[in-house]
Amino acid sequence: MRAEKTTIDRRSFLKAALLAGGGMILQFNWPGPIAAAAENNPTESAPFTLNSYIKIHPDGKVTLFNPNPEFGQNVNTSLPMILAEELDVSWDHVQVEQADFFPERFERQFTGGSQSIRRAWPVLRTAGATARQMLILAAAQHWAVSADEITTDAGILYHKKSDQKLSYGDIASAAALIPLPKNVKLKAIADFKIIGSSKRNVEIDNIVTGKPLFTSDYKKEGMLIAMIVHPASFGREITAIDDKAVRQMPGIKEVFIMEPVLKDYKKNGFDVFTYEQVAVIVGNTTWEVMQAKKKLILQLSRPTGNARNGKPDFLESTARHYADMEHHSTLPAEVKRRDGDPESAFKKAARIIERTYTAPFLVHNTMEPVSCFADVRADHAELYAPIQAPEFITTTLSARLGLPKEKIKINLARMGGGFGLRAYGHHVVEAAVISQKIKAPVKLMYTREDEATYGIYRPSYSATYRAALDENNQLIGFHIKAGGIPETPLHENRFPAGAIDNYLAEAWAIPSAITIGAFRAPRSNFIASAEQSFLDELAFEMKKDPLDFRLELLKRAKEKPVGQRNDYDADRYAGVIQLLKDKAAILARPAGTGRGMAAYFCHNTYAAVMVDIGMKNNEPYVKQALATLDCGIVINKDAAINMAEGALIDGIGNALYGEQLFMDGVPLKSNFNTYRMIRMNEAPEKIEVHFVENQDNPTGMGEPLFPPTFAAVANALFDHTGKRYYKQPFVKQYLDENKSPVI
C-alpha cells in the first residue's frame, strides 16, 4: 500500500522553533485553523503562541502536549502513540504532558462524545510526519546527500550508502531551522509498528502508587474546605436558613446563601444549576464541615414551577412520572421523520405488533464525587478542576466573577470518572464564587449524597414501537413514538430507518424540575435498548433468527435505501453483526443460561454484543459476554479492550440494577446502600472483545458498546425465562414478578 500524502496549511503548521539548550519544537494546530503567527524562529523562552507542539530534546526524547482532559479513557497514552508512529520514534522515548486550560493555544479542549482519537488522528499523524521530514532534510544537509536516500527507524536517521547514522536528538537543533515542507508523506498503514499494538498506560505508576492525581488530593496553604447544602426536594428553593447552631460549631468560618449564577445571566449548553440558591458552609476541615451540614436548617419555598420557567407546579414522584409518560405516549406527537405512507400500511396490516419500553432516571455515580479548588483574587482567578469541558465554563466564570476570561486560569486535574457528569461545571462556578466571597483559597467538596441528590441525571424515558405485518408475515410498516422526562431519546435517522418503505418516527417530552445531563452515550443508552429489544421480538413473531433479520434489513438499506438522511453505513453495520454471529457460534453457551444479542451504531462506531445470562442467588446475572466493534483502526489494543469491557460491565449493571426514585420531589437513593451498582462478583466471569479489521480512520470507543448491552441483557432474559422484561431495572421487575424481596 502506498503512503498517503498531506499538504501543510501554513495557518495550521508553521516553522519549528529552536529549543533553548538545543533541540526542536514543532508547533501545530490541534484540531482546527488558527491565525497565522510570525515567520521567525523563536527560542523556547519566546515560543509561538500557537495551538500545540512537539518537543524533540537533544537526548532524543519526544514530548507531546496533550490538551484533552484525562478521565480514564487513556488519551494520555493513545494520542502520543499516533505521534510516535508517524515520527518513527521508539515508544520508550515518548512522554506526554497534560496541558492546562489554554484557550489561546488549544482550540478545543473537551473530552466527551468519544471524539478524542477521532479528531486528533489526522492532526497528530501530519504533525509527526512533518517533524520526521524536517529531521530527514536536516540530516541530508549535514551529510550532503539526497533526502530520498535517508531512512528512519526508532528515532535514528540512516544513510545506508555511506553507513552513517544520527539520532533525532543529534540533528534536532538543525531541523528546527529547516523551512516547513509543503508536502509530507504519511506512513502506509501496513507499515505501522506502534499503532495497533498494546502499550502500558503512561500514568500507571502514579495511579498504583497513589501519587496525587485528583482534586481531592490537592492542597494549598491557607486553604479552607467548603460544602453546599441544597433543598432536599426538586422544585423547591431556599428562602432562608437558620445557622445559629452551625456558627457555634468548632472550625466553622462562614455560613451564607449563594447564587451560583445571577438571574439575568443567559446560560450556555453546559450550564446546569439545579437550584437558584444553595447554602454554603466553610470551615477548616472536611469532617467539621460535614458535621455542620447536619445542623443547618433550610426554609424552603413551595413548588416553584410555572408557565414561565416550564417546570411543573407540583412536587414530582416516580409513580406520577410513569403515569404521565404512559399518557403522553397516547397523545399526538411531533413527527420527526416520515417515509412512504405508514398510516396506510398499518391500516391494511394483517397483524400489528406493539410494545412499550421504559427506563428510570440514573445517577452518574463516578468513582470520585465532584470537587474543585479555587483561589479568586481581585484581579485574577486560579482553579484546579476536574472538568470535561473547560472551554465552556470560562464564559460562565467570567460573567459571574466579573473577571475577563484571560484572567481565569484553569489547571486540569485528572478526573475520577465522568460518564458525562463532569461536562457540567456547576462545581467549578460554585467553588469560584465561594472563594471570591470569603477572600481565601477554598476546596469545594461534594459528598456522595450531594452528588446523588443534586440532579444532572440520565432522564427517564419511554418508547412505543409498532410493526405492521402483512398476510405473508412480512414487515410493511414501522412506527416509533419516543419521549421522556424532560427530553425525548429519539434518533429518527438511525437504523432501521432507511430499511423500511413505510416508516414513522415521532417525539414528545414532559417538563420537569429535575435537572438532566449527558450520561454515557446520551439518549442512545435507552433508545438502543428499546429498539434492539423490539427487533428481537419482531423477529420472534416473524419466525426469523434475530441476527439474520437485522442482516436482511441492512441488506435492503444498502441495496435500495429509503430516504437520504440515514446516518449509518449499512455495510459496516452488517459487518459487525456478522462478526458477532461468527464468534458467538464458536463460543460455548454455559449450561443453564439464555443468550441474547444486540447491535447499535452511535458515536461513529458500530458495536454488537452478546451475553449469556443465568441465575445466581435467585437473581439474573450475566455469566459471560462477547463484543464486536468496528471503530476503524484500533490505536492501543489493550486500552480499547479495557474500554469495551468497562462499557459492557457498566451497561449490564445499569440494565439490571440502576434506578433513581422520587417521592414529593425528594430523591430516595443517595448512596450505595440504596442505589445498587454492579459488584465485582456480579461482573461476567468471561468477556471476549473482537474488532473488525479495516483501514478506516479511528472512531469512538468509550460509549458505543454501552447502549446495545441493555438490549442484549433483555433479549437474554427472554431466552432464559421465556418472559419479556420491558421496565428497567430488570432485576427489580424480575423480583417483583417472582414475588421475591426487592433489594
CA angle 382, 385, 386 (to 5 degrees): 165
* Residue bearing the bigger pLDDT, 498 or 12: 498
Model confidence at 649: pLDDT above 60: yes
- The three cell numbers of residue 716 are 437474554
**Contact assessment for residue 467 and residue 301, using Cβ atoms and an 8 Å cutoff:** no
Confidence of residue 35 (pLDDT cuts 50, 70, 90): very low
Residues 6 or more apart whose CB falls under 8 angstroms from that of 403 comprise 376, 379, 380, 381, 397
* Residue bearing the bigger pLDDT, 295 or 743: 295
Which of 258-267, 416-425, 702-711 shows the lowest mean pLDDT across its residues? 416-425
Amino acid sitting at position 659:
E
Q: Region 62-91: what's the mean pLDDT?
A: 78
Amino acid sitting at position 735:
L
Identify the three-state secondary structure at position 585.
helix
Tell me which residue of 560, 565, 600 sits closest to 580, measured CA to CA: 600
- The three cell numbers of residue 90 are 521508539
In this structure, the number of other CB atoms found within 10 A of the CB of residue 270 comes to 21
Confidence of residue 13 (pLDDT cuts 50, 70, 90): very low
The proportion of the chain whose per-residue pLDDT surpasses 70, expressed as a percent, equals: 88
* Residue bearing the bigger pLDDT, 309 or 431: 431
**What are the DSSP calls for 63-105, one per residue?**
EEEE-SPPSSS-HHHHHHHHHHHHHT--GGGEEEEEPPP-TTT
**Contact assessment for residue 694 and residue 1, using Cβ atoms and an 8 Å cutoff:** no
pTM: 0.90
Chain segment 312-360, per-residue pLDDT in tens: 999 999 999 999 999 999 999 999 999 999 999 999 999 999 999 999 9
Model confidence at 701: pLDDT above 50: yes
Any idea how long the chain is? 743
- Rounded CA-CA distance 300/514 in Å is 16
Give the containing element (helix H, strand E) for 136: helix 116-143
* Residue bearing the bigger pLDDT, 681 or 130: 681
Strand partners, 656: none
Phi then psi for 536, rounded to 5 degrees? -65, -45
Sign of the Cα torsion 173, 174, 177, 178 reads negative
Identify the pLDDT of residue 18.
Answer: 60
Sign of the Cα torsion 446, 450, 456, 461 reads positive
* Residue bearing the bigger pLDDT, 11 or 115: 115
Model confidence at 431: pLDDT above 80: yes
**What are the DSSP calls for 32-68, one per residue?**
S-------S--BTTS----SEEEEE-TTS-EEEEE-S
| Exposed/middle/buried for residue 372 (C-beta within 10 Å: 0-12, 13-18, 19+) | buried
Label residue 60 left, alpha or beta by phi (over 0 means left) and psi (-120 to 50 means alpha). left
The owner of cell 422520587 is 662
- The three cell numbers of residue 599 are 447491535
Identify the pLDDT of residue 483.
Answer: 98
- Rounded CA-CA distance 502/340 in Å is 5
Q: What is each CA distance from 98 to 120, 264, 412, 706, in whole angstroms? A: 15, 36, 8, 27
Tell me which residue of 261, 253, 195 sits closest to 225, measured CA to CA: 253
- Is the peptide bond prior to 708 cis by the omega test (within 30 degrees of 0)? no
Identify the pLDDT of residue 162.
Answer: 93
Terminal Cα distance for the chain, rounded:
58
Amino acid sitting at position 439:
K
Confidence of residue 55 (pLDDT cuts 50, 70, 90): confident
Residues 6 or more apart whose CB falls under 8 angstroms from that of 448 comprise 369, 670, 671, 672
The owner of cell 539526497 is 146
- Rounded CA-CA distance 164/183 in Å is 26
**Contact assessment for residue 180 and residue 14, using Cβ atoms and an 8 Å cutoff:** yes
- Rounded CA-CA distance 391/458 in Å is 23
**Contact assessment for residue 193 and residue 85, using Cβ atoms and an 8 Å cutoff:** yes
**Contact assessment for residue 181 and residue 134, using Cβ atoms and an 8 Å cutoff:** yes
- Rounded CA-CA distance 394/99 in Å is 16
Model confidence at 6: pLDDT above 70: no
Q: What share of the chain is helix, strand, coil (3-state, %, to 5)?
A: 30, 25, 45
Q: What is each CA distance from 714 to 83, 525, 581, in whole angstroms? A: 42, 13, 18
- Rounded CA-CA distance 193/191 in Å is 6
Average pLDDT, the chain: 88
Neighbour order of strands in the sheet with 24-28? 17-18, 24-28, 52-56, 62-66, 94-98
Residues 6 or more apart whose CB falls under 8 angstroms from that of 700 comprise 113, 114, 115, 117, 118, 602, 603, 604, 605, 631
Model confidence at 228: pLDDT above 70: yes
Identify the pLDDT of residue 395.
Answer: 87
